[in-house]
Every structure is written in C-alpha cells, then in structure tokens.
A and B are shown apart, each in its own frame.
Chain A
Amino acid sequence: MSQQGTVFDIGYQGYTGKREGRGRARRAVFKDGFRAALGFGRGGRAKILPWFFIGLLCAIGSIMALVAGAAERLGGPGTAAKANLPSHVDFYGAASIILFVFAALVAPELLCRDRKEGTIHLYLVRPLTGSDYLAARWLAFLVVMVGAAWLPQWILFLGLAAGDPLPLAYVQKHWLDVPRFLLAGVAMAVYATTLALLTASFTVRRAYAAVFLVGLFTITAPFTAGLASEIKTQAGPWISMFNLTNIPVHVNDVIFGEFSMVTADAPARLFPAWGRVGWYLLWTLVPGAVLWWRYRRLTP
C-alpha cells in the first residue's frame, strides 16, 4: 500500500533573517544591470544585439590570429611582424567603432528602460541612493564592456601563440602584451561606458540615445580626420583630437609605447603622451561628473 502524503499550507511566514541593506541593494542593481546588458532573464530578442556584437568582436580577433598564424606557418617565424600584420596594439583601433556602436545600442537598456517604465521609483524607495543606483549600473556595463574588449584580445593572443611554431617561446617573448591590452581595454571600456550612459541619461527612449551616439561616433571620425588632414596649421592636431573614436586609442598607444595602425597617421599623434592621456581623462571625467550630477538628486 502506498503512503499518502499530506500538504499543509503553513500560511504567510515573516522574514526574521539578516537584512543586508545598502551593500546587497547595490550588488543586486549591479547584477540586474549585467543581466540586462547581456539579455539574461529576458526574451530571445534581448540577447540578439549584445551577443551579435560580442561575436563580431571575437570574429575579428580570430581572423587576425588566423591570418598572423598562417603567415608565420607559411612564411616562417617573424613573417607576421615583417608584413606589419595587425596585432594587439592595433586591435582596439580597428575594433573601436564596433565597441562604441555596441555601447551605444546596449547601454541605454540599463538606464532608459527603468525611467520609461517607472521602475526607477521602486529602486529609490529601497535602501539605495540615486548615486548608488548609477554607480551599480555604470559598473555593470563597464564589466560587460571590459569583457567585450578583452575577449577578442585573449583569442588573438592565444591564436598567435598557437600559430607560432614555438608557442611557449611566443608567450615568453610577448607576455607583456597581456597587461598592456588588459589596461588598454579598461581605458576603452571606461570611456565608452561613461559616454554611452551619459547619453542614455538624457532620454527615456533607447533608440534616441543609440542613434545619437552612433551618429556622433560615425560622423566625427571621418569629419575630423578629413578636416585635420586638409588643415596644415597647428589647428590640425587639435581637430584630430576631436575624433571621438580615437580618444581611447591614443591611450592604447601610450600603454603599448607605439602607434596603432589607426592613429599612426592622425595629426593628434604629435601631442605628447601626457596631453593625449589628459585629453582622455577630460573626456571621461567630465561626462562622468555630469552623469553623476544628473542622478545624484534623482527623486520620483
């Protein structure tokens, strides 16, 4: 004879455990921002954009590694360097526009939707300030951007090592590229995250923010490059500095100690290293401060 089970409804149970307060609240907003950026816990359509761009970046890294590897195998050791094939120093310059478009399309998801749907009101009545909310969202998207920047560089590094006839010797010779591309990736991610979230903070419509930012990056790049090459006076380097896609690439150049393929001909290269890094800091800290100011005293 089978035993029969009995279901008891014990009714509502109060919570008597630990309340972790502000720290837990910040981590929860961070976690949610990270998941929202990558489309986790959302429908299939929410995953298309972020994973398409991450895939695209990885594809670029893979292709660079395959080409370099094939050159090394076919032409012998050192062929890739002799042929001046793109490598770690060139990756962020080549992929910067894709990283920025990725940021422009995905970052608004973290701020615009909460304001448009009114969910921000629920956050601000929790043990959380506007600054906490913003910091958690910023950090969440930064982590996604850092991942998107690093992943193809790792693929490239491992691909180059694997493509080299002497993989261990390659790693020993080029290990310094790893901290360099990690640091340059962070610089790229901080810049893209801050600008993209600042734009998103001005509108509740994600499409407006995305279109504005994509337009800003795609228009300023050829416009400033063309104008800077035409003007042969001292204004040329300054105009070149306003190429928004190149601002973090200049930092990348400083970190690697050489110019990437994208910035090698840019008049802005004439500025000293501290000038290019200072310009980057200006374009990161000022938008960051404006973004923080907008959320600091946010009330429903």
Chain B
Amino acid sequence: MPAGQPLLTAERLGKRYGSVVALDDVSFTIADGITGILGENGAGKSTAIKIFMGLLKPTAGKATVLGEDASESLTVRGRLGYMPEHDCLPSQVSAAEFLTHMAEVSGLPPTTARTRAADTLRHTGLFEERYRAIGGYSTGMKQRVKLGQALVHDPSFVFLDEPTAGLDPLGREEMLDLVRKTHRDFGISVLFSSHLMADVERTCDRIIVLQGGRLVHSGEVEQFTKETETVFIEVDTNREALVAALERRGVLVTIDGAGLTLEGPDESVYDLVRDALVEVEAPLRRMGPRRRALTELFERGAA
C-alpha cells in the first residue's frame, strides 16, 4: 500500500438480510492507526467487519481492504487478522500448538510459524502458560489467545470485535493496553469494534459511530469527545434561578434528576457556571464533566 492511502474504504456500503437492513449507504475510510467502530448491538459493526474480511458480500456499494476486495482475493486475507467476539478456541490443544497452526493457515512456513507463535505469546503475556490446554484458561487468557491468533502472522491490519467482552476491570485494562501496543509497538493498524464508548475513547485515534446500520459520526476521537462531553452540576437550593441565569449566558440546560446537565458554547462553560452560581447565590453540591450515554448520542444523531 502506498503511504497515505486509506487502508479500508467503504463506498456507499449496504447489506440487507431479507427485509432487515444491516448496513445502509455507509461510506468512510480508515487510515493507519487505531480506529474505533462504535455502536449498540445490531448497529452493523460485525456486518461491516465481515464484509471487509470478505465473508459477506455487500448488497450495495463496495468495500476494499489494503486496496483489494477481500471477497475476491484470498491473498489479501493473509495480511489481515481477525479476533471474533464469540468463542472460537479449541479446548484440547495448547496455545503454542494452536498459534503455530493458525500461523501456518495464514500462509507462514512451519518453522517460522513456530517461532512467531512463541514470540506472539510472549508479547501477549502468555509465554509461561503456552503449553497448557486452552480449555483450562481463564476468560482473560482466552481473550489473549484470540488476540494472539489474530497477530501471529504479522498482519497489516487487524479487526478486533469486542475484545474486552466478558473481562473484569483489570482484564479489560490489560486488553486495552495490548490493543494500544498492537499499533504503537507492532505497527499493525487496528479496527476496534465496541459498544463501550469509554474503551474506544481511551484506545482509538479515530472513531466511526453506527446506529441502525447508518453512519452517525466519523472523525477524530478528540473532536468526538468535545462534542459529546457535558457538565453535570447539583445545587442545594435556587435551582430554577440558576437555570435561568445559565440560559441567559447561552448555556443549554437539561434538568437531569436532582441535577442539571449543561452544554456550553465551549470550555468556558465552567466560568459561566461560576458566574451564574455567584449571581443567584446557589450553594454548589457537586460539579464535574459527564459523558452522554451512547443511546442519547444516537437519539441526537437520528434527530
């Protein structure tokens, strides 16, 4: 791939299963780096990944990966990695044996496959446990094996479908670290699918948001964060007066249970809150940044 070229391209991509629309007129490009694909269950994330992997044919539009259509080119699949969301590991064999086999299935010669399997298990933190049967692994270790099999053949691009699913907070943190390491240290670009905004935000450079098969947002995570961040405040008294004072200053206020959710024109919203609190003499109980729920974002996107 020439430098600067997008690694993945979706052009007016559509996929229908009978009357069910899984993807509808979706267009985006993905460049080098870690890109998050965010959406609720059924948003079309896995369908998009399967189309890029060449496992599904789109009913409309075109998807190319590394400059080729993966449904027509088996060769390009040797340069892709895929970590599925669901269980996919054999219980009887060891991680070392399994990764060696998967490296060979990806086209690597047997000797190289063995070396790379050991290296990959070391990088994913499973080196000490590599000769144990996978069936005896914990959920976190199994997720690492799944990631390992996606990386063992040194792909140019890897698809990670919900890699933090089923993990406890510590395991989730370690997995996100591994995803970051995959690009930072291994130089492999990543498409990271999740329904957890926090995971995507902490890991990715860019974000694609899907809802009901349609593209809602595509761009830099930083920009997305700015657009989706709000301020939550709670006061003991004078709430109505505070709302009026804030609205006079151009702050959009939503009453949210016992508190208020504020959307200011920019980061100066904190200064405006301070001034309004002083003006109406409202005793502040709590104030802090708060992220909108994903569903709320999607409602806004649809509106």
Contacts and interface: CB of A to CB of B under 8 A. Distances in A.
Given A15-B108, A117-B88, A119-B88, A28 B78 contact: no
Interface string A12-24: 1111011111101
B277 to A, nearest CB: 52
Contacts of A27: 104
Interface string A75-118: 00000000000000000000000000000000000000110011
A19 B101 CA distance: 14
A13 to B, nearest CB: 7
Given A12-B185, A300-B84, A125 B108 contact: no
Nearest to B81: A125
A126 B78 contact: yes
B69 to A, nearest CB: 14
Contacts of B88: 117-119, 121-122
Contact of B92 (A11, A15, A42, A300): A42
Given A15-B112, A29-B105, A46-B92, A124 B55 contact: yes
A8 to B, nearest CB: 14
B56 A123 contact: no
Given A41-B97, A43-B92, A117-B88, A123 B105 contact: yes
Nearest to A133: B105
A117 B89 contact: yes
A113 B134 CA distance: 14
Interface in A100-155: 113-114, 117-119, 121-129
A27 B104 CA distance: 8
A28 B101 contact: yes
B96 to A, nearest CB: 10
A213 B15 CA distance: 40
Given A19-B107, A24-B107, A121 B101 contact: no
Contact of A125 (B80, B86, B104, B107): B80
B108 to A, nearest CB: 7
B154 A28 contact: no
A32 interface: yes
A119 to B, nearest CB: 5
B123 interface: yes
Question: Interface centre among A13, A29, A122, A129, by most B CB within 10 Å?
Answer: A122
Contacts of B92: 42-43, 46, 113
A20 B109 contact: yes
Given A117-B91, A125-B77, A28 B104 contact: yes
Contacts of B77: 125-128
Main secondary structure of the interface of B (DSSP, over half): loop
A127 B104 contact: no
B192 interface: no
A121 B78 CA distance: 15
A32 B90 CA distance: 12
B168 to A, nearest CB: 22
Nearest to A18: B109
Contacts of B86: 118, 121
A122 B82 contact: yes
A32 B101 CA distance: 7
Given A117-B90, A127-B106, A22 B97 contact: no
A299 interface: yes
B104 A24 contact: yes
Contacts of B119: 12-13
B23 to A, nearest CB: 16
A113 B89 CA distance: 10
Contact of B74 (A12, A17, A123, A129): A129
A128 B78 CA distance: 9
Interface string B29-68: 0000000000000000000001001111000000000000
A83 B116 CA distance: 62
Interface of B: 50, 53-56, 74-75, 77-80, 82, 84, 86-94, 97, 101-102, 104-109, 112, 116, 119, 123, 133, 149, 153-154, 185-187
3 tightest CB-CB pairs across the interface, nearest first? A28-B104, A15-B154, A118-B88
Given A24-B107, A114-B90, A126-B106, 17 more contacts: A12-B185, A14-B186, A24-B104, A25-B105, A25-B107, A41-B94, A43-B133, A117-B91, A119-B88, A122-B84, A122-B102, A122-B105, A124-B55, A126-B102, A127-B77, A128-B105, A300-B84
18 contacts: A14-B186, A15-B112, A15-B153, A17-B112, A19-B108, A20-B108, A21-B74, A24-B107, A27-B104, A41-B93, A42-B92, A46-B92, A117-B89, A117-B90, A125-B77, A125-B82, A127-B106, A129-B74
